């Protein structure tokens, strides 16, 4: 498949995502909606009471909106809940949600086993989610390939810009141009190429959603050094007195240091958050399984949670479970415990699972049947997410490959320009070639910045969060700079062209 056809495929999928955002949000929350109805049905809660309870579930905003609308029509318009659900099925754009509503109404009217229908529908939704996860991986893979092609084209433009618009080269060829080769021109060119990267990142953002919610701390910690570095570079441009900093370190090394200063604080911040939340996502199904099995022995739900939280194989999640155990033993209400959990964890699936667990205990006494439904769903969801992450890991290696290749190509350009010192070209003097060196240094720094920027793209692709990109950005920037040094040393010594 050609690059153009790949790009068309990605854009078609993006357009589809943009035009069906409402139905995508419903589909994202639908498994938990069905799970809530299954738990309430298993606990003896009526249909209408179930919708009223969903009106207060803030973790499912789209479902909350649908529930409020259904309750409003029932109470204000005095309509039957089943009739309202059937009308909503005709109005919704989500195929899965429509099938769920129609199937629920049919099961209720025919007197069938509603719980059996809900469990069957939940299994069907999980199968659909698994297929959708594989499709999203294919979309992201195509997007990574498009991004790679974009970087190659960008590098070609870098080279043409350096060679064609550097001072004196076009004049020596008898070609006149109105483009001024000033630092502002170079920065404008880099800005346009970076804008292309940002556009592809936004496409990745539409395709890959993060499980972490309200993630602000890493971005806040990056903001202050970012503003400081921007002010520093502006001062270098407009204050010649600071030029000695560039002469001392060189533009590539200076750019690397500044980018690392921006990346390092949020790296540690995100690592702490991700470690705890990813451990919670991996351990939550096992925890729920322990609670369910303990509940089958006849222990109270609270005692089951206390017993299950004593396991030591949960990693960083054990700290949160210890807090839950202590608060239960102190007599703290379960809903207050859930609010405390929300302050410590940012993983949306974990928080929803905790909410459903607490709801099943408070509403129906935490029956073993209801807890079994929750546990089964949690285990299958974890397997789907782990499979998706494993399928995306190889693309991280690709980002290091393109960083090295970009730096190697820039080194080759440097060697070619230095080779002009040793050959006779009519109209091209030693001074003209020497004047190219700052330009090459500036574009070498641009390559490092481009690699650093691509780290955010890889963070979004692999982990679903731009905050994860700080780690990859720092690694790719260092890899690009080291590649510049190593390739210059090897090729320079090989051809004896670099002083």
Which CATH number covers residue 311? 1.20.81
Q: Which residues contact 479 (CB under 8 A, 6 or more apart)?
A: 400, 403, 404, 407, 451
Boundary residue ending a domain (59, 94, 112): 112
The three-class DSSP label of residue 317 is helix
Dist CA 225 CA 455 (whole Å): 18
Do 249 and 152 have their domain in common? yes
Do 239 and 303 have their domain in common? no
As a whole number of angstroms, the longest Cα–Cα distance in the chain is 94
Dist CA 118 CA 371 (whole Å): 14
In a domain, 138, yes or no: no
Boundary residue ending a domain (360, 388, 416): 388
- Kindly indicate the confidence band of residue 494, based on its pLDDT and cuts at 50, 70 and 90: low
**Among 343, 373, 340, which residue's Cα sits nearest to residue 356?**
373
Mean pLDDT to the nearest integer, 343-355: 87
Dist CA 433 CA 420 (whole Å): 7
pTM of the predicted model over 0.85: no
The token pair at 262 is: 């921006």
Mean pLDDT to the nearest integer, 145-171: 67
- Kindly indicate the confidence band of residue 473, based on its pLDDT and cuts at 50, 70 and 90: very high
Do 100 and 46 have their domain in common? yes
Boundary residue ending a domain (112, 135, 159): 112
pLDDT tens, position by position, 72-130 = 888 888 888 888 888 888 888 888 888 888 888 888 888 778 888 888 887 887 777 77
In a domain, 478, yes or no: yes
In a domain, 121, yes or no: no
Per-residue confidence (pLDDT) for residue 267, from 0 to 100: 92
The DSSP secondary-structure symbol of 466 reads: G
Do 62 and 39 have their domain in common? yes
In a domain, 434, yes or no: yes
In a domain, 158, yes or no: yes
Mean residue pLDDT across the chain: 78
Do 403 and 382 have their domain in common? no
Do 404 and 368 have their domain in common? no
Of residues 180 and 472, more confidently modeled: 472
Per-residue confidence (pLDDT) for residue 475, from 0 to 100: 92
The three-class DSSP label of residue 93 is coil
Do 259 and 336 have their domain in common? no
Do 422 and 341 have their domain in common? no
Do 396 and 383 have their domain in common? no
Task: Please state the separation of Cα 60 from the chain's center in Å.
Answer: 20
Share of the chain above pLDDT 70, in %: 81
Radius of gyration of the chain measured on its C-alpha atoms: 29
Dist CA 337 CA 328 (whole Å): 8
Do 104 and 28 have their domain in common? yes
In a domain, 108, yes or no: yes
Dihedral of CA atoms 235, 238, 242, 246 in degrees, nearest 10, equals 90
The token pair at 222 is: 């990056």
pLDDT tens, position by position, 223-232 = 988 888 888 8
- Asked whether the predicted pLDDT for residue 167 surpasses 50, the reply is no
Do 408 and 378 have their domain in common? no
Per-residue confidence (pLDDT) for residue 162, from 0 to 100: 60
The three-class DSSP label of residue 200 is helix
Contact 483, 404 (CB under 8 A): yes
The range of the structural domain enclosing residue 366 comes to: 278-388
In a domain, 329, yes or no: yes
The residues facing 347 across adjacent strands are: 212
In a domain, 134, yes or no: no
Dist CA 353 CA 344 (whole Å): 15
- Asked whether the predicted pLDDT for residue 18 surpasses 50, the reply is no
Structurally, the chain folds into a number of domains equal to 3
Do 151 and 86 have their domain in common? no
- Kindly indicate the confidence band of residue 431, based on its pLDDT and cuts at 50, 70 and 90: very low
Mean pLDDT to the nearest integer, 453-471: 88
- Asked whether the predicted pLDDT for residue 274 surpasses 50, the reply is yes
- Asked whether the predicted pLDDT for residue 37 surpasses 70, the reply is yes
- Asked whether the predicted pLDDT for residue 435 surpasses 60, the reply is no
- Asked whether the predicted pLDDT for residue 436 surpasses 70, the reply is no
Share of the chain above pLDDT 90, in %: 4
């Amino acid at each position: 498949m050609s690059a153009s056809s790949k790009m068309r495929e990605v854009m078609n999928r993006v357009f589809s995502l943009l035009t069906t955002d409402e139905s995508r949000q419903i589909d994202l929350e639908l498994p938990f909606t069905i799970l809530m109805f299954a738990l309430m049905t298993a606990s003896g809660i009526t249909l209408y009471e179930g919708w009223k309870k969903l009106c207060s579930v803030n973790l499912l905003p789209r479902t909350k909106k649908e529930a409020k609308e259904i309750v409003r029509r029932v109470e204000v318009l005095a309509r039957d809940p089943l009739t309202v659900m059937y009308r909503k099925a005709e109005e919704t754009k989500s195929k899965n949600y429509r099938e769920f509503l129609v199937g629920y109404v049919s099961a209720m009217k025919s007197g069938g086993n509603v719980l059996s229908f809900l469990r069957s529908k939940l299994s069907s939704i999980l199968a659909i989610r698994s297929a959708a996860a594989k499709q999203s991986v294919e979309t992201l893979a195509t997007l990574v390939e498009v991004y790679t092609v974009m970087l190659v084209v960008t590098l070609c433009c870098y080279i043409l810009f350096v060679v064609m618009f550097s001072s004196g080269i076009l004049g020596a060829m008898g070609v006149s141009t109105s483009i001024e080769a000033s630092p502002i021109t170079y920065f404008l060119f880099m800005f346009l190429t970076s804008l292309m990267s940002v556009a592809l990142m936004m496409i990745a953002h539409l395709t890959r959603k993060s499980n972490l919610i309200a993630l602000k701390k890493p971005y806040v910690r990056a903001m202050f050094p970012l503003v400081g570095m921007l002010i520093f570079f502006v001062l270098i441009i407009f204050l010649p007195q600071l030029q000695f900093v560039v002469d001392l370190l060189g533009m590539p090394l200076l750019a690397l240091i500044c980018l690392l200063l921006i990346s390092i604080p949020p790296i540690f911040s995100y690592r702490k958050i991700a470690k705890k939340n990813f451990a919670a996502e991996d351990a939550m199904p096992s925890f729920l399984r322990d609670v369910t099995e303990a509940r089958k022995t006849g222990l109270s739900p609270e005692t089951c949670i206390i017993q299950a939280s004593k396991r030591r194989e949960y990693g960083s999640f054990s700290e949160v479970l210890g807090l839950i155990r202590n608060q239960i033993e102190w007599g703290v209400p379960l809903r207050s415990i859930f609010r405390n959990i929300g302050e410590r964890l940012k993983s949306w699936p974990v928080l929803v699972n905790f909410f459903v667990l607490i709801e099943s205990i408070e509403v129906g006494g935490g029956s073993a049947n209801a807890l079994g439904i929750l546990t089964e769903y949690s285990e299958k969801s974890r397997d789907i997410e782990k499979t998706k992450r494993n399928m995306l890991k190889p693309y991280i290696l690709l980002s290091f490959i393109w960083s090295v290749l970009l730096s190697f190509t820039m080194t080759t350009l440097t060697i070619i320009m230095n080779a002009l010192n040793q050959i006779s070209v009519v109209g091209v003097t030693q001074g003209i070639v020497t004047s190219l060196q700052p330009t090459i240094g500036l574009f070498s720094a641009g390559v490092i910045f481009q690699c650093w920027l691509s780290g955010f793209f890889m963070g979004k692709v692999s982990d679903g969060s731009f905050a994860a990109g700080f780690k990859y950005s720092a690694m790719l920037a260092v890899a690009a700079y080291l590649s510049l040094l190593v390739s210059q040393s090897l090729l320079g010594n090989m051809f004896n062209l670099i002083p």
